[in-house]
């Protein structure tokens, strides 16, 4: 497993990370054990969770229950900011809430520290300086080692870094955002900003919610146990004519090189200089092995240019 620095920080992560959003929900607490242990066995060191994952807390509970003594061997990441109650009081980036949220996460995770604590989404009601000061205090207290952001507009990422730099505050070292062969919006503004600020990118939905997995066929009936079979909104968003055309071209490209679509999707992300780790979810142990193996294709500059033309 290749290990990379997260941006220009000293934090090192595996090039393939484990997205823990299914734990405690789609993947029950007990079933999560096999997936967690498979990830450890395959050299995955970045485990990415959030307080809201698993029906508000289930993902962190699963990790706390099954990591055991191996907790010290991994980079444990979690997030805060999305509503943890129906009223919306337990949410946001205020100092008051952050101090409560981190204690709740530490308790569920059964750990004394979180390696990477990420602001899950912007809070327009709270100044970013207040959020950064609170997170900096958590670093000083040893409860958090590094901080990152997620789903922030490019201008907001730059503003947060400027605020940190000009006020001598702790800075975000990474951003976690959707990025894949079928969703390349970050290339316009976010990725140039991350490069300029020395921040790493942790792409989620690397397979475009499964459309790049190779398990779907255009026009075929959808199984009720698949994401697109269950979620009409995701199906309508990704299963467009334009995307199917791109998928057909990408699949043909992969097959011409003796590879499959899954390998192309992971390896293309791993080839991007700003990407530190590809966040991939799994509900079964065998998916871990497939995801790890899929990042092994070292694409050449000529191949990357050809892929760009196919997805234009």
Question: What confidence score (pLDDT) does residue 140 get?
Answer: 98
Does residue 59 or residue 238 have the better pLDDT?
59
pLDDT at 225 over 80: no
Return the HEC string of the chain. CCEEECCCCCCEEECEEEECCCECCCECHHHHHHHHHHHHHCCCCEEECCCCHHHHHHHHHHHHHHCHHHHHHCEEEEEECCCCCCCCCCCCCCHHHHHHHHHHHHHHHCCCCEEEEEECCCCCCCCHHHHHHHHHHHHHHCCEEEEEEECCCHHHHHHHHHHHHHCCCCCEEEEEEECECCECHHHCCHHHHHHHHCCEEEEECCCHHHCCCCCCCCCCCCCCCCHHHHCHHHHHHHCCHHHHHHHHHHHHHHHHCCCCHHHHHHHHHHCCCCECCEEEECCCHHHHHHHHHHCCCCCCHHHHHHHHHHHC
Question: What confidence score (pLDDT) does residue 235 get?
Answer: 78
* Chain segment 164-178, per-residue pLDDT in tens: 999 999 999 999 999
For the chain, which domains are there? 3-210+260-299 (3.20.20.100)
Catalytic residue flag (residue 97): no
* Chain segment 51-79, per-residue pLDDT in tens: 999 989 999 999 999 999 999 999 999 99
Q: What is the pTM of this model?
A: 0.93
Question: What confidence score (pLDDT) does residue 81 get?
Answer: 96
pLDDT at 309 over 60: yes
């Amino acid at each position: 497993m290749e290990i990379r620095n997260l941006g220009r920080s000293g934090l090192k992560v595996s090039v393939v990370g484990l997205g823990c959003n299914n734990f405690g929900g789609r993947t029950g607490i007990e079933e999560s054990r096999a997936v967690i242990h498979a990830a450890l066995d395959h050299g995955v060191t970045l485990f990415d969770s959030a307080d809201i994952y698993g029906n508000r807390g289930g993902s962190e509970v699963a990790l706390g229950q099954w990591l055991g003594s191996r907790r010290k061997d991994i980079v444990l990441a979690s997030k805060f900011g999305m509503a943890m109650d129906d009223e919306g009081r337990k949410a946001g980036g205020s100092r008051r809430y952050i101090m409560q949220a981190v204690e709740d996460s530490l308790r569920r995770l059964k750990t004394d520290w979180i390696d990477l604590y990420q602001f899950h989404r912007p809070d327009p009601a709270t100044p970013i300086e207040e959020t950064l000061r609170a997170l900096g205090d958590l670093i000083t207290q040893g409860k958090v080692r590094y901080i990152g952001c997620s789903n922030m507009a490019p201008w907001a990422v730059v503003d947060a870094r400027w605020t940190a730099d000009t006020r001598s505050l702790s800075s975000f070292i990474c951003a976690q955002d959707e990025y894949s062969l079928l969703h390349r919006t970050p290339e316009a503004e976010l990725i140039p900003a991350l490069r300029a600020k020395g921040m790493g990118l942790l792409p989620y939905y690397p397979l475009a919610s499964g459309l790049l997995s190779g398990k779907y066929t255009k026009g075929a009936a959808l199984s009720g146990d698949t994401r697109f079979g269950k979620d009409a909104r995701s199906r309508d968003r990704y299963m467009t004519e334009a995307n199917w055309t791109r998928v057909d071209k990408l699949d043909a490209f992969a097959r011409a090189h003796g590879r499959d679509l899954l390998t192309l999707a992971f390896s293309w992300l791993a080839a991007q200089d700003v990407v530190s780790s590809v966040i991939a979810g799994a509900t079964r142990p065998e998916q871990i092995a497939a995801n790890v193996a899929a990042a092994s294709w070292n694409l050449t500059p000529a191949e990357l240019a050809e892929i760009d033309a196919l997805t234009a």
